[in-house]
Amino acid sequence: MVMHLLERFPPSGIQPDWGTDRFDSLAWHWGEPEPELANTTDLLRLSEHELTKMKRAHMGFVGALHNRLPRYVPHRYDDNTDGKNVVQSDSPRRGIVTVGGGKYYVILAVSLRFLRRSGTTLPIEVFVTESEYEQKVCEDVLPKLNAVCRVYPKMVDSKGKEKKVEGFQLKAFAMLFSSFDEVLYMDADNTAMQDVAPLFDSAPFRATGLVTWPDFWQTTVSPLYYDIASKNLELKTTPPPIMGRPSTESGQILVDKTRHWKTLLLAAYYNYYGPPFYYRLLNQGGTGMGDKETFLPAAAVFGLPAYQVHTPVEKVGHRFEDDSTGSRVMIQHDAGEDWEVTATLTNSLANSGSPPANEAEWKALYRDVRPVFLHLSWPKWDPTNLLGHVSKWSDMTMGIDGRPESAFHHPPELAVRIKGTERMLWEEARWVACLRDGKGEHVFGHYCNNKQADRACERLRGHFANVLDGDTGKMIGLGPEDVLYPAVREVEGE
């Protein structure tokens, strides 16, 4: 039914054109945009004919959701049928959803093992395409972490030809096809430094059913989108302000499918037609263009509530010569505590009428909100990437003076807030690098016939012996005593 509706309402025959114009991410940093860009909101062009076609298609799809799929339709799976997806009625209501496959299995294994050490026991569904299903990973490694592989249903177009959906497009469909009614989606390179289960009982989630987190950048939604998505033609001449909020960092999304069923279906539509159409309309070439802006706009179409965390995302990483920070880990914060601070500020601002002027003022107001998520954005925490000078942007072991240094050390006032996490990540990377099956072969397909992977176990063991487990490790805060949570038997699989 979903595929039928997606195929029934294609947006247009011509994708929006932006020529050579794109948004400069540095100029569009949230809270500190270049002043002259305040009115530069529309870089796309569509003819009136194509605009009308997209508007009719959008209206048709939204109407079909009201008429054909008005209520939440849960998916259930039976995990006792050799991995096949069979309906089961007593699946857990809450859980974590992610996307795996190929090289992402390796990154995901590190993230999930870290997640289990930090206290999260929620069940996990890992969605993979049929071609990327790996028996060793899906039937041996992941079940020990209370995680299971789910194979995406085949998607075929109106002519019966299989439709290729990949990359950013996969997130919305993973949430849609998950067996959980309440979903915490997390990217494969994302983990958490505390139990994430309380987020499901947090005030913002109870109030709205959809919680998102901020990115570094402004929103860059085209005014054309508001015309396409609304019956109000006045929006064409008076578009909503583009700088009203930061864009969404979709490495983690919390959604109640019973309340936001239509939101997810419309987000799936935006992603299904994302690369040629809606990614352009919703991002206009801004940094991280993809699925990130498909969720909040979809909720707004149906007038459904949502909460975006106000605490600015922060990054901790490698210090460069100019004292800037190379992004190693993006820190996202506790939504419940953020809600409480926001409520207090809202009451205060109602009396003073003076909102924060820039990102620095926002950070000061939210400085005590606890960090939760560690999005290991660059480089990915693949054991083969961690040793050696990969590039200026991805040196994980040496400081600018050539001496050993932790990867997460700058700025120091932020590094101390996640102290103890990096040692754990190194330990889990070593476990992944050294994992072999009963025949002594690599478990992860990505590592087969990979010379770097063949050497990674020995190199990481050497790094522990020569650096991390000695005086140097203590000096840089990565010694055996510098773990936030010790390894546990369940995670070790002993």
- Rounded to whole angstroms, what are the CA distances from 294 to 147, 236, 386? 27, 20, 33
Whole-angstrom distance, CA of residue 312 vs CA of residue 301 = 26
Length of the chain in terms of residues written: 494
DSSP state of 203: H
Query: What structural domains and CATH numbers belong to the chain?
Result: 94-308 (3.90.550)
Q: What is the model's pLDDT at position 162?
A: 86
- Name the pTM for this structure: 0.92
Closest-CA residue to 91 (of 245, 218, 257, 318): 257
Residues 431, 434, 440, 446, CA torsion sign = positive
The token pair at 222 is 């085209």
Count of beta carbons in the 10 Å neighbourhood of residue 201? 10
Residues of the chain under the 50 pLDDT cut: 81-87, 232-239, 241-242, 491-494
Residue 63: exposure state from Cβ atoms within 10 A (0-12, 13-18, ≥19): exposed
Q: Token pair 């994708």 is at which residue?
A: 15
The enclosing H or E element of 204 equals helix 203-208
Radius of gyration of the chain (CA): 23
Whole-angstrom distance, CA of residue 168 vs CA of residue 330 = 19
* Phi, psi (degrees; rounded to nearest 5) at 267: -60, -40
Q: What is the model's pLDDT at position 36?
A: 52
In the Cβ-directed half-sphere of 431, how many Cα atoms lie within 13 Å? 20
Whole-angstrom distance, CA of residue 287 vs CA of residue 25 = 6
* Phi, psi (degrees; rounded to nearest 5) at 375: -90, 105
Q: What is the model's pLDDT at position 116?
A: 97
Query: Rounded to an integer, what is the distance from CA 307 to the centroid of its chain?
Result: 16
